Amino acid sequence: MLPRFTRRLLPALILCGLWLTPAAAQQSDPRALLHLLDYIGVDYPNTVRDGQVINPTEYAEQQEFATRANTLIASLPAGAARDNAQAQADELRRLIDSKANGPVVSRHSEQMRAALIGALQVVTTPRGAPDLARGATLFAQQCGSCHGADGMGNGPAALNLEPAPTNFLDRARADQRSLYGLYSTITLGVTDTAMPAFGQLSDADRWALAFHVGGLAYADAQLQQRGDAVLASADQAAGLRSLAALTTTTPAQAIAQHGDDGLAALARLRHDPAPLFAGSSPLDTTIARLHDSLAAYADNQPEQAYTLALAAYLDGFELAESALRATDPELVRALETRMLDYRQLIQSGMPLDTVRDAEAQLVTHLQQARGQMDDNRLSPGMAMGSAFVILLREGLEALLVLAAIIGILIKTGRRDALPYVHAGWIGALALGFATWGASIYLVDISGASRELTEGGTAVLAAVVLLYVGFWLHDKAHASQWQAFVKKRIQGALSGRALWALALVAFLAVYREVFETVLFYQALWMQAESDGQSALLGGFGLGVAALLAIGWIILKSSVRLPLNAFFRVNAAIMFVLAVVFAGHGVAGLQKAGILRLDPVSFPRIDLLGIYPNLESLGAQLLVILLVTAMVLAARIRSASTPV
């Protein structure tokens, strides 16, 4: 049995680990909040004019939506983003209650949306170029009966609808709608109206519809021609040439920022967004976010600058990391360090010139990395070697855990419990591939979500590894004869230790699967057809190597005397708990959940050692806890009569 105070502490530790997993950390879907703010920004100007309520029913609805926004904000994860959003929501409610003019409320809701998108790392862009022809077909099939064949809100089913369907050709209203706002409306629907949610459509179809609808009011041929001329210029409306800007900027904002040229460029890109997808790279997003970050810092907005710098990593670099790491892990490490240094300069309030120089150097290195990604096609030999090394590196930690667990069951004569462990790692494989599939085909899983998944799973795995390690070490110090010890352990495994073994098998494998699949996806895209065959060969060699290593570990460990066997496996669990604690904290830091204070210390990725106070502190805490438990077990063993 574990020491009493350890047993009391364990539930709290497990709850803490569960709290850090994505399911708990992302209790609120920010898309609903953004959708609500978009609706307020568009509809409020039609309810109040010159301080007078024009439509009492819609005005009451606006007040209700503002209250709902406060409720949604309260359910966001605690932190500066929620606090800032709460203050802005209070101001929004004050403006609506005081019957402020429409443009004032619209601008405030736009500012709230922009701040939340940056702070919460919301994915606001489609994965690929939208199929505009498909969008037109879907509109005719799904929307024409209410909105009309031309989008004027005069379809045959519109006569009995209240409120009336939107007229998408109404420029005053269309000027307030971003493509992401339209996409959100299509995805979530509008409460208390005839507008349903179209969640049954694929993500690509919903974006195609959004682009089609968003272009209806701006189809004028002269406007399109002017847009072509603006986009052909090197300087005009340059701020609209990123995909994120295209999807989140309203026509009214484009006019305010760039004049009529901005509207023309936006209109043209809504009708032909392909140039923004041709040859685009996640590193382009990284560079754009860094430019925005520097601009915010120069504008004396350090918090916004830091948020944008973090988004540069999570929304851009993180998506390219797999492809880069597969072929040049040192480059990835160097870029991660530079991006961390840049964020630290902002956080420390360094002079603008210092931050500007750091941003310029970082952008130069990112451009070099982008060129390397564009030019780098894997040879068959390199594809095979990369596939082999990646699988061996990513699978080794999980293998050590599985070998130790299976060895325990074999050594104690509990082969009947092996199906539980096998169910754990097989389930982890299935869920890992399902997560990858969802991230590709169903939903947008941002860089922050991936880091949160890896970090939260690693923290929980460290907690469970500590539990299993304590249990094993406690048995190693039992004073009974070997046969009696086996009998006691067999009985103990019928209780809570069995689920712990199965759970740690699941966690150890799941943590590695998603990342490994992303690495292989990146390799597959970089390899030619003959390189892809070699990649599969490298994967096969990696599997064979892991099986061989696992067999050697298992055979050598089960031959140890019972006492030594439990001590060795307890030590493995303790070491891996330290490693997982480091990896977990690092993942949560990358996701922006935990702060990061760098220190001068060696970085050893394989051991989860990262040079910052939080990661090293977590590992030191685990080491101290293990030391205390080991000493307590030895004292108890020495005082127990034989």
**Percent of the chain whose predicted confidence (pLDDT) is above 90:** 11
Query: Do 444 and 31 touch, CB atoms closer than 8 A?
Result: no
Answer yes or no: is pLDDT of 15 > 50: no
DSSP conformational letter for 91: H
pLDDT tens per residue across span 582-611: 888 887 777 667 777 778 888 887 788 888
Lowest mean pLDDT among 200-209, 241-250, 314-323: 314-323
pLDDT at 18: 38
- For the chain, report the end-to-end CA distance as a whole number of angstroms: 17
Q: Which helix (H) or strand (E) holds 103?
A: helix 102-119
Is pLDDT above 60 for 27?
no
Strand partners, 52: 49
**Tokens 């009985």, residue located:** 491
pLDDT at 209 over 90: yes
Are 573 and 465 spatial neighbours (Cβ–Cβ below 8 Å)?
Answer: yes
- Mean of the per-residue pLDDT values for the chain? 76
Separation between Cα atoms, residue 221 and residue 226, nearest integer Å: 9
Query: 441 or 353: which carries more pLDDT confidence?
Result: 353
Mean pLDDT within 197-215: 89
Domain boundaries, the chain: 132-277, 281-376, 378-561
Residue 414 has which token pair? Answer: 């509990």
Q: Which of 61, 184, 173, 47 is nearest to 113 (CA)?
A: 184
**pLDDT tens-digit map of 220-278:** 888 988 888 888 875 666 667 678 788 888 998 889 888 888 899 899 999 988 877 75
Q: How far apart are the C-alpha atoms of 204 and 215, rounded to whole Å? A: 17
pLDDT for res 641: 52
The β-bridge relationship of strands 52-53 and 48-49 is antiparallel
Cβ–Cβ < 8 Å for 409, 417: yes
- Global pTM exceeds 0.75: no
Q: How confident is the model at residue 482 (pLDDT cuts 50, 70, 90)?
A: very low
In the chain, % helix, strand, coil (3-state, to 5) comes to 75, 0, 20
Tell me the β-bridge partners of 378. Answer: 527
Q: How far apart are CA 117 and CA 397, in angstroms?
A: 36
102-128 pLDDT, tens digit each: 888 888 888 888 788 766 667 788 877
Mean pLDDT of 348-375: 83
> What pLDDT, on a 0 to 100 scale, did the predictor assign at position 14?
36
How confident is the model at residue 94, as a pLDDT?
A: 92
Q: What angle do CA 635, 637, 639 make, to 5 degrees?
A: 70
pLDDT at residue 475 in the model: 55
Element (H, E) at 35: helix 30-43
Q: How confident is the model at residue 10 (pLDDT cuts 50, 70, 90)?
A: very low
Give which of 335, 285, 573, 555 is closest to 447, Cα–Cα.
285
Contacts 24+ apart (CB under 8 A), 591-594: 591/314, 591/448, 591/449, 591/451, 591/452, 591/455, 592/121, 592/310, 592/314, 592/448, 593/20, 593/25, 593/77, 593/452, 593/455
The pLDDT value given to residue 481: 33
User: Residue 172 CB: number of other CB atoms within 10 A?
Assistant: 11
Task: Say what the pLDDT of residue 106 is.
Answer: 85
Helix (H, G, I), strand (E, B) or coil at 609: strand
**The tokens of 133 are what?**
């022809």
DSSP assignments along 475-532, one per residue:
HHT--S-HHHHHHHHHHHTTTHHHHHHHHHHHHHHHHHHHHHHHHHHHHHHHB-HHHH
Please state which CATH class domain 281-376 belongs to.
Answer: mainly alpha
Q: How far apart are CA 205 and CA 131, in angstroms?
A: 8
What tokens appear for 89 in the block?
A: 């929501």
Q: State yes or no: pLDDT of 423 exceeds 90.
A: no
Q: How is residue 350 written in tokens?
A: 């360094």
